[in-house]
Chain A
Amino acid sequence: MIDQLPAIIVLAPLIGAMITGLAGPGDHRVCFPVVLCSLSIALVAAIAAAVQVFTTGTIDYFVGGWEEPLGIGIHLRIDALNAFLLVVIGIVALLVSFFSFRRVGDRNTEKTPHFYVLFQLLCLGVFGITIAGDAFNLFVLVEVSSLTSYALIAMGSSRRGSHAAFNYLLMGTTGASFYLLGVGYLYLKTGTLNMQGIHEVLANNTTVAQSPAVTIAFIFILVGIWIKMAFFPLYGWLPNAYSYAPSSSACLLAPLMTKVSVYVMIRAMLGVFGAEWVFVHLGWSRLVVLLAVVAILAGSLLALQQREIKKMLCYLIVAEVGYMVGGAWLADENHWGLTGALYHILADAMMTLCLFVAAGIFSKRLGATRIDQLEGFFRHTPLTAAGFTVGALAMIGVPPTCGFFSKFYLIRGGIESGHWEFVIALLLSSIVNAILFFRIFEIGFFGKSPPEGHGQHSSFPAPKSELAHATGTTLLPLVVSAILVVLLGVFNGQVVSLIRIAFENLPAVTSGLP
């Protein structure tokens, strides 16, 4: 059993989805237990795999048993780069499934089984992307997760949701096709699709490594992944797609999709092309960090202009992606930039989950989608307010939340590599986040209470008790994610030291800046 862990992580949601599809339409009450079961099994397997990676070493799993020669079978790989990410994905998926539980009597329950099928298939896709060790397999799993995400966004009954989903589909498919094109160029020059195999060829054969085809392959793979992670200026699809999606879908998509794409970029940079090829041969560190700086500033400034809560959070995601891409391309000697980026993937997933769940509670239970509609609510809903506050403090970068430590590592990497523009952008963005969130705190805590009876903007009467507005299943994810945000910060030392195992064999390349 223990050596089948990679397969179990992927199989549990798959079998769960099929069972939901078969039994769900008959009796809707079957869906939720099946989902909980399958995602719990996946989470347990992910934790067990992480434990095994950090005690024994990298897990290499060959589907079909085809191990030699490398590349004839499909290779699944869990190592220090993705072990924590698997656990975080499992936690996010489980928490959002709680959040999405609908009581009898809520509207739109006829398609519940199909929603849960798509939900589990999305989780399957994201798990699969994380453990993939074969370039083409990665493409197929990216398409699984993309298709289900388009459907989850378009499923709601909102007008804007369908248009947003269409734009997302166009851009996402173009991005995946660019990635496929890049893999095609690589296959044509190296003769293998296995990531480790390609790395070997590029490391041993300098003619291939220097050829223009490999450079173009890298560009197209990179641009394809950038489209999927909404890196400036290719972020156009994200704000509309995540704001107008149904709450449960947005809570699942926002923490996962962009972060996993950042992981794919780091894996491509380190595991396929190799740090030396990327930073020494290509040497674009300066250019990409500049783009990242623009992304951070643009995301923060655009967020400042928003009046809607979810749109604001979406632009903050764009800025966070800028942090991660910039951190990964810093090329500092001791790899603090990469460490910061990897740690930030985990931190950002938890922070985004926390904030989106809070926003979901605001809109569903309190009827508030705009910031000014939150007047006075925080005084009456202590738990929701507390959860939102923890998430907000993490975004600003206040210790001991994880947000502070990820900014710390990124700034350290920026200083050591000489990219001062990146450091300044990080600090500016923290200030902008502080302005944003303190404005919300002011309205929420100190604004005037909504009048008794019918509120002016919402159709819900003034709150008498918190639980009248949010049930246990919606509060649980918020509370747990807030606690995890703090825990991830408190234990950052251990987490970071384990992540840095991935850099043991990495050459100390620099970008050549003073």
Chain B
Amino acid sequence: MSEFIENQISPYFNFWIYVILMMIGLWAVIAKRNLIKKLIGLSIFQTAIILFYVSIGVKEGATIPILDHHGPAHHEETEEKADHGKPAPGHVAQNGAHHEHGETHDDPHHGGKHHAIDPDTMANPLPHVLMLTAIVVGVSTLGVALAISQMIYKEFGTLEEDEILEKLKTEPLHD
């Protein structure tokens, strides 16, 4: 048992948490009778998937995927000491990250390639991009779902699934 915990759960504890969250959300979608509670379950499910994706791109000791650039003119100097003093605009200063602009840069105006960034120090940007899209899609779906719920409430006067089904059984099919 403890071997199971050590080998299976602890290196992947984040994935276990996300799967449990997803299942809580999925349970609510299936089992709850109130339409809004189902929607909340759907949101929980989608949010857990988003968390799952973001955790794919995590690298231990890495910083956010934003390069610390003040502009091309600064790269000629041996800049370690110079950079520490300046607050970079909009950049959360991480001491570890300054090392990546190391030494030689091609002049950017020649379209030069920037080989001095070590990929291990920056988080993977791709999952973040994908999840920006997924968040927007989730919000849109929630908006449309709430609009449909309002319409249902207007028509049936209730948001409980069993009461709606009762009302539907007793009325004639539309002609």
Chain A positions within 8 Å of B, measured between CB atoms, are 136, 139-140, 143, 147, 150-151, 154, 158-160, 162-163, 165-166, 169-170, 173-174, 177, 180-181, 184, 187-188, 193, 244, 308, 367, 369, 457
Contacts and interface: CB of A to CB of B under 8 A. Distances in A.
Contacts of A188: 56
A162 B152 contact: yes
A163 B53 contact: no
B49 A162 contact: no
Which of B145, B168, B174 has the most A CB atoms < 10 Å from its CB? B174
A166 B26 contact: no
Q: 10 tightest A-B contacts by CB?
A: A162-B151, A159-B155, A143-B137, A166-B148, A162-B152, A154-B148, A188-B56, A158-B174, A184-B53, A173-B141
A165 B164 CA distance: 14
Contacts of A163: 152, 156, 164, 168
9 contacts: A140-B133, A150-B148, A151-B144, A160-B168, A160-B174, A177-B45, A187-B56, A193-B126, A193-B130
B42 interface: yes
B134 interface: yes
A19 to B, nearest CB: 22
Given A150-B148, A154-B148, A169-B145, A181 B140 contact: no
Interface string B138-172: 00110011011101100110000000100010010
Contacts of B133: 136, 140
B174 A166 contact: no
B98 interface: no
Contacts of B52: 181, 184
B141 A181 contact: no
A166 B149 contact: yes
A243 B42 CA distance: 25
A87 to B, nearest CB: 29
Given A162-B155, A184-B52, A143 B144 contact: no
B51 to A, nearest CB: 11
Contact of B42 (A143, A170, A369): A170
Q: Which of A143, A154, A184 has the most CB of B within 10 A?
A: A184
Nearest to B164: A163
Contacts of A369: 173-175
A513 to B, nearest CB: 35
B63 to A, nearest CB: 21
Interface in B27-55: 29, 35, 38, 42, 45-46, 49, 52-53
A367 B174 CA distance: 11
Contacts of B35: 166
Contacts of B168: 159-160, 163
A174 B174 contact: no
Contact of B29 (A158, A174, A308, A367): A174
Given A154-B148, A160-B173, 20 more contacts: A136-B130, A159-B171, A160-B174, A162-B148, A163-B156, A165-B148, A166-B35, A166-B145, A166-B148, A169-B145, A170-B38, A170-B145, A173-B42, A173-B141, A173-B145, A174-B42, A177-B49, A180-B49, A184-B53, A369-B174
Contacts of A159: 155-156, 168, 171, 174
Contacts of B130: 136, 193
Interface string B72-98: 000000000000000000000000000
B148 to A, nearest CB: 5
A147 B148 contact: no
Contacts of A184: 49, 52-53, 56
A147 B142 CA distance: 10
Contacts of B137: 140, 143
B123 to A, nearest CB: 15
B46 A177 contact: yes
Nearest to A369: B175
A85 B69 CA distance: 48
A188 B29 CA distance: 27
A147 B56 contact: no
Contacts of B42: 170, 173-174
B37 to A, nearest CB: 12
Contact of A169 (B26, B144, B174): B144
B141 A147 contact: yes
Contacts of A162: 148, 151-152, 155
Contacts of A150: 144, 148
B140 A180 contact: no
